[in-house]
Amino acid sequence: MKMSYSPQQTLPKRPLELQLKMTNYKIHQIAKRMFDIVFSLLVILIIFPIIFPIVFIFIKLEGKGSIFFIQKRNGLNNTVFDCIKFRTMVKNQQADTLAAVTNDERITKVGKFLRNSSIDELPQFINVLKGDMSVVGPRPHMISDNEKFEKIATNYQNRHLVKPGITGLAQINGYKGHVNTIQDVKARTIIDLKYVNNQSLWLDLNIIWGTIKLMVQDTILHVKNERIERLSEKDTEE
């Protein structure tokens, strides 16, 4: 039977083991929210004005369509929100039902760079400022994937006991981008639940620092791979 979610649907109360482990949970929530507001404001006011014009130009040069892609995703307590990204694909009717896979033909050349460098997630700091997301937390999946993944991974829905994040513990541990296998789903869920049960601002700061290092590494690797591909194409033509 196909399952569906509504904005009003909520999860059961927070597990007792999590309540006991985080006796100062409310204080943590307040501190995390304050951090999210300050961090997202700094990104939106300082980094976004520099990156946005460049991304805008390259997306528009590559083809028609909006610079942004907005998709319904599940957030805290399974509520549905509009997740904002820079558009990385050509317009297609499967955008909300078929997740991107490795070497997906729908992904544009600019989109490939945006995804590999994680710059496509930059607009989600608007979601953080609005309160839909946090800087750090389990990555939000589109609704159709949630329906699939909850049937695969044990306690999958417990990921939604916290706000979804722009980055998370799973991402800095090698589970970034496409979800290609059942093992991917299970492994990511285990790591996400580890974050849910051990969350702290110190852990968030470590995840943010790990994400920055990963972004730099991935961007450099993308540029190197693109250069190798161009040289290979040139040799083939000659």
Q: Specify the pLDDT at position 15.
A: 47
Domain ranges of the chain: 23-237
Label the pairing between strands 165-167 and 134-136.
parallel
Q: Specify the pLDDT at position 204.
A: 96
CA 67 to mean position of chain CA atoms: 18
Q: How far is CA 65 from CA 69, 88, 104, 108, 133, in A?
A: 10, 11, 19, 12, 26
Among 23-27, 46-50, 151-155, 165-169, name the one with the lowest average pLDDT: 23-27
Is the full-model pTM beyond 0.95? no
- Return d(Cα 210, Cα 157) in angstroms, integer: 26
- Return d(Cα 131, Cα 214) in angstroms, integer: 25
- Return d(Cα 141, Cα 99) in angstroms, integer: 9
> Mean pLDDT of all residues in the chain?
83
Residue 14 above 50 pLDDT? no
Cβ contact 170:137 at 8 Å: no
Residue 13 above 60 pLDDT? no
Cβ contact 172:214 at 8 Å: yes
**pLDDT tens column, 70-93:** 999 999 988 999 999 999 888 777
Cβ contact 219:195 at 8 Å: no
